[in-house]
Amino acid sequence: MTVHFSYVRPASLQDAVSQLGSDNALIHAGGTDLLGCLRDEVFPAEKLVSISGLPELRGISKTTDNGLRIGALTTIAEVAAHPLIRESYAALAQGAAAVASPQLRNQGTLGGNLCQKPRCWYYRGEFHCLRKGGNYCYAVNGENQYHCILGGKNCFIVHPSDTAPALLAFGAVLRITGPRGSRSVTLADFHVLPERDVTRETVLEAGEIVTEILLPPASAAMRSSYRKVRARQAWDFALAGVALALELEGGRVRRSRVVLSGAAPIPWRAVEVEKIITGSALESEVIHEAAVAAMTKARPLGKNGYKIPLFQGMLAEELEKMRQVS
């Protein structure tokens, strides 16, 4: 049984925003991550503001510029199954299908998937770690086999989302509503590295709600994929993952976005890979060079060095698959 909290289910977005104005008021969307955190007393909650009574936050539709609008409350299962997403944004459909388990995909939402709390077992456990206001990251000298190899300086979480890498590869933009009105934030600017602020994962301010995820139009030359490597085939987080979104023309890569999961505290753009493959044909030497370059800045901890060859091998395999379809 969790701690006591009050519960409110507003019928308008404005009411939801104002309900979030009180102390320790938290958003309940699908609730899958939130209720687990409350049960483990990772952070306090005095009030849950359920946004499930806001149907305008659900659904998938084409935008006027031929892009896609996905309401933040759309479930992961709906994202995985949607024909437009499967056809034009395959990496997102594949990423969504790889999230957790069928039950959680039926309940968890796309907005919630982007706003997940870290799965670091020190953060989730009874450790007053840096992210919880303490002064020490227990992963540094602890059990760090699932922690990050890139982008950690003071805290070594990995971002747990399988949809964020694909969305970032497609250049997604988030619409956010809060006490001071609405704003747009690119997904690239949404997640926060620990070195910038170790106590938050996103740029969301108090009272702000992610309302929709916007995808730019997908060009006909776009090929995309998401690969997730995990310790077992079902219901697990990524040890390593990669989203590829490549525009191919005449056997060459015209534009590319390569984003890693399981690598860093935020969905991690592998710009070294993008530089090498963009403008080139995906030949074996190029693929090899790109896979090696992806890990040049990696700084493994004591027990996660295996991730370096894992990422290199996985990247080489995924780029090879792209070569075959190009």
Partner 1 sequence: MNNEENGEKTGQCRCVHGFTRRGFLTSVGVGAMAALATSGRLSAAQEGAVAERAAEKAVVITLTVNDRSHRLLVEPRWSLLYVLREQLGLTGAKVGCERGECGACTVLIDDLPRYACLTLAVEAEGRRITTLEGLMAGEELGPVQQAFVEEDAMQCGYCTPGQIMSVEGLLRARPQPDQAEIRQAVSGNLCRCGAYPHIVKAGLRAAELKAKR
Give the closest residue to 87 by CA, choosing from 63, 106, 68, 109. Answer: 68
Q: How far is CA 78 from CA 82, 93, 105, 108, in A?
A: 6, 9, 8, 10
Minimum CB distance to partner 1 smaller for 151 or for 241: 241
Choose, by CB under 8 A, the member of 17, 57, 77, 92 that binds partner 1: 77
Residue (35 or 286) nearer to partner 1, CB: 35
Note whether 85 binds partner 1 by CB under 8 A. Answer: no
Contact 165, 243 (CB under 8 A): yes
* Smallest separation, CB 38 to partner 1 (Å): 8
Q: Is 6 one of the binding residues for partner 1 (CB under 8 A)?
A: yes
Rule CB under 8 A: choose which of 14, 61, 63, 101 binds partner 1: 101
The reply to whether 52 sits near partner 1 by the rule CB under 8 A is: yes
CA distances from 45 to 16, 50, 58, 127, 164 (A): 16, 13, 25, 18, 26
Q: How many residues bind partner 1 (CB under 8 A)?
A: 38
Nearest to partner 1 of 110, 315 (CB atom): 110
Structure tokens, 285: 């030497």
Residue 44 burial (10 A CB sphere; 0-12, 13-18, 19+): exposed
User: Shortest distance, CB of residue 159 to partner 1, whole angstroms?
Assistant: 19
Q: Is the Cβ of residue 50 or residue 326 nearer to partner 1 in the bound state?
A: 50
Q: How far is CA 71 from the centre of its chain?
A: 16
Residue 76 Cβ vs partner 1, minimum distance, rounded to whole Å: 12
Give yes or no for residue 44 binding partner 1 (CB under 8 A).
Answer: no
Chain positions contacting partner 1, by CB under 8 A: 1-12, 15, 19, 28, 31-32, 35-36, 39-40, 46-48, 50, 52-53, 77, 100-104, 106-107, 233-235
